Amino acid sequence: MAQRFRDAKPGVSVTIDPRDALTLRVTMPGREPMTVMLDHLRHVCSHSTPADCASTKTEFVENTLALPPKPQFNRSQLRVVIRGKDYVDYVKSTMAGERLPVMHPVGEDLFVIVAADTAKTTVLMSPAGLRDLGLNPADGWTLALRQTRATLPKLPTVAALRNAPIVFEHWPLAAALLIDLPGWARLSAAIGPDLFVTVVADDYVFVATKPDGVDFDGFKAAVVEDCEQQSRCVSPNVYRFRDGMWRIAR
């Protein structure tokens, strides 16, 4: 995709985030750099034929480069995405002040970030961007959470989890299930300390129970390997719910 952007228009330079191959930094003459997130495109292509995927990529590049200097969004597009610490560190290294996206931690290395989700791309939303929509950061955060929750499946039930592991896949924002801290607190209290989750991709969340021990350590190693196979891994860690948030199972 980086080369597609370079080939599409003279003077375009592209840097691939070394910690996230699905995030590009695109610069055009006379324009401020754009952070382009390819996770939505990846999701579309994973459910398309090769020919349709190629066509979608071409259209994506054309539409992104044709965006006005200040893209226009509306409130209905606000969502939240889950990202790991490495991604957040990269964002903080490239943005600052009013350009830094609105975000909050939900775990020791997991963060929820406000974004505008469109058919073409996902754009992180800063306080300035939210003000353009007539929202302060707190109201933008609340709206993004509510609209994201409306797109998600329900958390697993105690009975279902005691019967078998639960997998949420092919939901574009499945990782955002982890934002429901009160819901997970209730589930964890009912299930017990062996509850755990993994979130290796935006559209894949695995929930199950397993006690600490050799078998659990082997499972954690397998999750790391799975993470390495993802175009964008949200996190290579396995989490347990402790003290009101997600903690890395060590």
CA atoms within 13 A on the CB side of 165: 13
Contact 167, 205 (CB under 8 A): yes
**Whether residues 224 and 165 fall in one domain:** yes
**Whether residues 139 and 170 fall in one domain:** no
If pLDDT is split at 50, 70 and 90, which confidence band does 29 have? Answer: confident
**Whether residues 46 and 65 fall in one domain:** yes
**Percentage of the residues of the chain whose pLDDT score is greater than 90:** 58
234: left (phi over 0), alpha (psi -120 to 50) or beta: alpha
40 to 55, 71, 123, 203, 217: CA distances (angstroms) = 15, 17, 11, 10, 32
* Amino acid occupying residue 122: T
**Whether residues 66 and 113 fall in one domain:** yes
Contact 22, 121 (CB under 8 A): no
3-state helix, strand, coil in the chain (%, to 5): 40, 25, 35
pLDDT of residue 70: 63
pLDDT of residue 170: 83
If pLDDT is split at 50, 70 and 90, which confidence band does 175 have? Answer: very high
- Secondary structure (3-state) at 16: strand
**Whether residues 71 and 175 fall in one domain:** no
Question: Stretch 196-219: mean pLDDT, rounded?
Answer: 96
pLDDT of residue 14: 92
**Whether residues 216 and 183 fall in one domain:** yes
pLDDT of residue 67: 66
Provide the domain count of the chain: 2
Contact 83, 68 (CB under 8 A): no
- Is residue 97 pLDDT above 80, yes or no? no
Instruction: Tell me which residue range forms the domain holding 18.
Output: 2-149
**In this structure, is the dihedral angle defined by the CA atoms of residues 117, 118, 120 and 124, taken in order, positive or negative?**
negative
**Whether residues 93 and 31 fall in one domain:** yes
Domain boundary among 104, 132, 149: 149
Burial string for 192-228 (b: 16+ CB within 10 Å, else e) reads eeebbbbbbbbbbbbbbeeeeeeeeeebbeebeebbe
208 to 3, 61, 88: CA distances (angstroms) = 40, 39, 27
Domain boundary among 129, 149, 169: 149
